[in-house]
Amino acid sequence: MTDAHDDHEASRPAAPDADSGDDDEQEKVFEAVGRLLGGKASEEEADAWAVMQRPLFAIAVFGAIGGFFIYFTTMCDPNYEATGRRRGMKQLMNWLGYTIGPRWSSVIVGVVLLVIFAFMFFLLVKRSTRKVLEF
């Protein structure tokens, strides 16, 4: 039983090397489809919406989290005395929120959002090209 299994494994084609990459395989597919259907291979830029989706999602998520962070820092009180379970953690979070303050938390959130915007503009300027078949 193992001999048949070994023969089957030996007859299986080898996996493509990582060095050959997907470009070589894509070229073969484009060539085959071009011969079959008569299409012509060309390149085009990725559309703007495909480039902007992930950064806009990141801006929405971080904007919501940053809003809660700013709200948290405005509620911190220098005279707060935590009681009950997890008293030390409550006291630490209050001290940290009061120390940072709403002004600096707004600056931190704004800088991170600015970095995400800059990254999105960089992606829009440097749009990747993709290969397509035209019929």
Domain ranges in the chain are 2-134
| Lookup result for tokens 């084609």 | 13
Confidence check: pLDDT of 41 > 90: no
Per-residue model confidence (pLDDT) at position 2: 53
Radius of gyration of the chain (CA): 28
Confidence check: pLDDT of 79 > 80: yes
Asked if 129 contacts 44 with a C-beta cutoff of 8 angstroms, the reply is yes
Q: How many CB atoms neighbour CB 82 within 10 A?
A: 15
Per-residue model confidence (pLDDT) at position 64: 97
**Burial zone of 70 (CB within 10 Å; 0-12 exposed, 13-18 middle, 19+ buried):** buried
Asked if 91 contacts 82 with a C-beta cutoff of 8 angstroms, the reply is yes
What is the C-alpha to C-alpha distance for residues 14 and 80, in angstroms, rounded to an integer? 67
Confidence check: pLDDT of 11 > 70: no
This prediction has a pTM of: 0.61
> Of 92, 63, 59, whose CA–CA distance to 76 is shortest?
92
| Angle separating helix axes 48-75 and 87-125, nearest 10 degrees | 160
